[in-house]
Structure 1
């Protein structure tokens, strides 16, 4: 197949995936999963609809070959909601191509990654089955990544695993061996309601929240001093504040949401203890009632920055697109944590596309970058499956 034909095939596949709306929430992945299974079936590759962890939101697992080593290519098919449609210049699910880019929700995050994984799996299948490549390849189209659901973890537990993994998030083809963790905390500050014409009869939860917000600002300043060479600073950012039920009612409750970005060397248990101590001190010093819960967690993860898998992908990315080869980490959170932490699999985050496009209006992927990603993935995967990676 010529390079032009490959590029057209890739553009068509990315467009087909983008046109299938898979917003999460609520979790509309089924139609996309069914499309992927049918696509593999047309190419003589067995792919399974996996009805776990949710029967109404199946995901996809496929395996080609039985030899070692096994390389797992992972992508998620859920996307964040498109938001205000009037803010889009291009239809969010139109998959329009303009000026060398394909537009649409999920185009970069991360249906291009899913598409190049599908094409690589299909192309290498003949070489694997003929014995020309001694290894095996596994494909994931996972659900629920955008909301920290156990899609990828379930696929790994179901046996769609291997010695190596690549999570195909958009990194501009830089090879990430570590990533920040993310935990969301919901802090509730209590008061006592009253009519606003008699404000002193109650206790205003908003006023009680002031020292909590001040303490959180100091905490953020402290954690920003914690740094990692690859993923940068830690953060504790107040992102939401909710209080009050009516204009003339003194609020009995205020809720503060904190987005805590943490480093590979920090643990969730340690951070829980920090919040516990911080809020207990604020409550005691100000005679207020404060409680908290961690509502969502993406753990941090890291492997050796000189891992053999990382070295292979750095080299092929540099050969194809002159991508920097220095060690690097992702400042966001991905399902690579399920590979590294849950399954003890050597895995990287790597893929074409600009991460700054993720979750934006007029999200788009540069099609030439996508084609470079396909070429680099195909050649790197072939080297890994040859068994020469040590």
Structure 2
């Protein structure tokens, strides 16, 4: 029978999430190591085999833990990095205090995704007796990868090390909807070149910031045009201006100005297609306004377009509906997820699923609802039991 879920603020789940939230693991710069050490030690204390993987970056270790060796193998994936906390004076609750108020747990990374990682860890622990006794045929692998927030191939490295499994669940916050489609994104640095000069004689140079005025206007129009495109599961496309840098000092005409453009694209589109689209747009702007423009794609996330009727998708829809009344309709999300490493690079059926609201990711006073989190643990363990009971023998 499914294990009864605990309730209240002193449950094992909330204690574990609290400990993880209190460990700062911001990325950038990529400070996941303390969390990886905690996760590895926790598994060791629970008698679960865990391995520290120093790939793809030696100074940013990842953790893999495994319970059992039978088939099928279910991978539970929860990344260790979190967004920077930003201006801490804007937080009502300490971003690394794991404070609890009004049935919610607050902190940077609480919902994205120290909660998801905790769910994976506890599910492995709680199902361990049934797996080892033969009550369940299959096995569980827990991924604790680095670098999801910056597009680093942490999960891909774990897969390439042989920890791919038969099915995978990436435990991002989806309000327990079963997500099979995620947008991709590509980051472009676009530099407008001018000529330096002394600001006392502004006409002695070519002001790159002023030159960029037409470019910014065209990129805003581009975003408006993209918002008219719609995907049934992930919503509209976007082109967001997210960073700007230019000028060397206050009394010089700036020689360069660089904009960061973030292009969010649909599950059925590719990074190469985005390169062609953005490149053609910038070529037109440069020609029309006689601008000296250089650009490069500096990073990208592939989109995810998985079958909506895969076995893990059907199992999680059923249990989420039965326990929490969650919709059984196919779902997508407008953000990228590590699910792409399974779907696009292996034949492992994978979904994105988890409690919590993704609208709170990266926000001040990020938090999750404790009752929803406990319900999520219950559903995850029910669904995992069903999957692990499915043997090919």
Q: Same fold (TM over 0.5)?
A: yes
Larger mean Cα displacement after TM superposition, 162-171 or 244-253 = 244-253
Report what 1:25 is aligned to: 28
Larger mean Cα displacement after TM superposition, 99-108 or 243-252 = 243-252
Report what 2:194 is aligned to: 191
SS of equivalent residue, structure 1 residue 39: helix
Contact 1:73-1:139 at 8 Å conserved across structures: yes
Report what 1:58 is aligned to: 61
Deviations 1:181-228 (A, max 9, x none): 111111001111122232222212123212222322332233223221
C-alpha displacement of 1:83: 1.6
C-alpha displacement of 1:330: 1.0
Contact 1:95-1:102 at 8 Å conserved across structures: yes
C-alpha displacement of 1:89: 1.8
Q: Distance in 2 between matches of 1:382 and 1:128?
A: 9
C-alpha displacement of 1:2: 5.2
C-alpha displacement of 1:351: 0.4
Q: Does 1:105 align with 2:108?
A: yes
Q: Which runs of 5+ in 1 are unaligned?
A: none
C-alpha displacement of 1:286: 2.4
C-alpha displacement of 1:344: 2.9
Report what 1:370 is aligned to: 373
Deviations 1:303-343 (A, max 9, x none): 11122211110111111111111111011111111111122
Q: Does 1:133 align with 2:133?
A: no
Deviations 1:66-92 (A, max 9, x none): 222111000001111212222222221
Q: Does 1:307 align with 2:310?
A: yes
Contact 2:4-2:378 at 8 Å conserved across structures: no
Contact 2:311-2:349 at 8 Å conserved across structures: no
Q: Distance in 2 between matches of 1:339 and 1:372?
A: 26
Q: Distance in 2 between matches of 1:320 and 1:276?
A: 48
Q: Distance in 2 between matches of 1:70 and 1:353?
A: 25
Contact 1:63-1:160 at 8 Å conserved across structures: no
SS of equivalent residue, structure 2 residue 257: strand
Q: Which one of the candidate residues 274, 282, 286 is aligned to 2:285?
A: 282
Q: Which one of the candidate residues 115, 120, 125 is aligned to 1:122?
A: 125
Q: Distance in 1 between matches of 2:191 and 2:182?
A: 29
Contact 2:72-2:387 at 8 Å conserved across structures: yes
Contact 2:7-2:371 at 8 Å conserved across structures: no
Q: Distance in 2 between matches of 1:4 and 1:286?
A: 64
Q: Which one of the candidate residues 143, 146, 151 is aligned to 1:143?
A: 146
Report what 2:337 is aligned to: 334
Q: Distance in 2 between matches of 1:241 and 1:258?
A: 9
Q: 1:133 to 1:332 in 2, by over 3 A?
A: same
Contact 1:73-1:165 at 8 Å conserved across structures: yes
Q: Distance in 2 between matches of 1:303 and 1:41?
A: 34
Contact 1:176-1:349 at 8 Å conserved across structures: yes
Q: 1:193 to 1:71 in 2, by over 3 A?
A: same
Report what 1:36 is aligned to: 39
Contact 1:174-1:351 at 8 Å conserved across structures: yes
SS of equivalent residue, structure 1 residue 192: coil
Q: Which runs of 5+ in 2 are unaligned?
A: none
Q: Does 1:231 align with 2:226?
A: no
Larger mean Cα displacement after TM superposition, 14-23 or 167-176 = 14-23
Contact 1:62-1:160 at 8 Å conserved across structures: no
Aligned length: 389
Q: 1:2 to 1:341 in 2, by over 3 A?
A: closer
SS of equivalent residue, structure 2 residue 74: strand
SS of equivalent residue, structure 2 residue 123: helix
Deviations 1:21-79 (A, max 9, x none): 11112222222212212221222210111111122221110122222211100000111
Tell me the TM-score normalized by structure 2. 0.95
Tell me the TM-score normalized by structure 1. 0.95
Q: Distance in 1 between matches of 2:172 and 2:4?
A: 26
Q: Which one of the candidate residues 177, 180, 204 is aligned to 1:177?
A: 180
Q: Distance in 2 between matches of 1:3 and 1:203?
A: 66
SS of equivalent residue, structure 1 residue 314: helix
